[in-house]
Structure 1
Amino acid sequence: MYNRILLPIDLNHKASWAKSLPTALQLCRDYTASLHVVMVIPDFGLPLVGGFFPKEYAEKAKQAITNNLKEFVKANVPKDVKVQRIVADGKAYEAILRVAKKIDADLIVMASHKRKRAEDYVLGTNALRVVQLSKTSVMIVR
């Protein structure tokens, strides 16, 4: 039923993967699907934002996140699950939808959680937008 499962995470927020990762791993095993873990970083190239950072900042940030994502996958994804790591940039929900389309994902597994802080509200909003705009099935895990 599923061949490619997309799992958006934020390494800075354990709530973005603590429950959704085990769910995605189980689905990968059940359907012999591949797991595609995506981390989205903000687009520092925007004129308004980009002026506040040194030119090389975006590339260094992307490399650091790529390395952190590699370590996360190594520590949390068993070897029996085929996995691809993806670092995307832009608005979170847009990047998730773009990656889902590019890899032809069958399912997006995302976390959503109670909104206690402003940053949690943003995560919830991204999940909502992905559900509303995705042509791919989306499973929200709480």
Structure 2
Amino acid sequence: MFKKLLLPVDLQDDTGSGDEAAELAVGLARAHGAAIHVLSVFPGVGLPWVSTYFPADSLQRARDDLRRRLTDWAGDHIPAEIPCTVDIAEGAPHRCILDEIRHVGADLVVMPSHDETGAERVFLGSVAARVVERAHCSVLVVRHPRRG
């Protein structure tokens, strides 16, 4: 049923929710003979003139570091027998995820959800909620139990 899973992860999140989403994606990939495409989003610097305040190669070094860390993360979480690719995108996370769905032809997104308060969801909207609302494929949101 599923052939290409998109697994967006936030390497800054230390709750383990990305690990749980990866575990579920691996199980689904095995069950369906699917490939996994792992994505992480590099926060954009906004307006182009903002980037002029950074040394010329600092943004590229940051992108390269994110790609290296994502590749290492995928190597630790996705078994070698499952076809896996990694990519980074830059910009608003929900838009980058929606673009990546189309770009890789994903038929399922497996993504963690961060615990936000009701007010944060109302005023800001969560990335997961925006992806669920706008995606043209199935989205499985992995809830991480609130600790404490």
TM-score, scaled relative to structure 2: 0.85
1:84 is paired with a residue whose SS is strand
Q: Give unpaired runs (5+ residues) of structure 1.
A: none
Counterpart residue identity of residue 114, structure 1: D
Aligned to 2:10: 10
Of stretches 4-13 and 52-61 in structure 1, the one that deviates more from structure 2 is 52-61
Deviation at 1:45, TM superposition (A): 6.0
After superposition, the CA RMSD in angstroms is 2.5
2:5 is paired with a residue whose SS is strand
Counterpart residue identity of residue 139, structure 2: V
Aligned to 2:91: 90
The whole-number CA distance in structure 2 between the counterparts of 1:111 and 1:7 is 9
Aligned to 1:39: 40
Aligned to 2:115: 114
Aligned to 1:101: 102
Q: Once the two structures are aligned, what percentage of the paired residues are identical?
A: 33
The whole-number CA distance in structure 1 between the counterparts of 2:129 and 2:70 is 24
Aligned to 2:57: 56
Measured against aligned partners, the alpha-carbon deviations of 1:38-74 in whole angstroms (never above 9, x if no partner) come to 0000123623642432222221111001111111111
Q: Give unpaired runs (5+ residues) of structure 2.
A: 144-148
Counterpart residue identity of residue 90, structure 2: D
Look at both structures and tell me which one has the larger radius of gyration over its CA atoms: 2
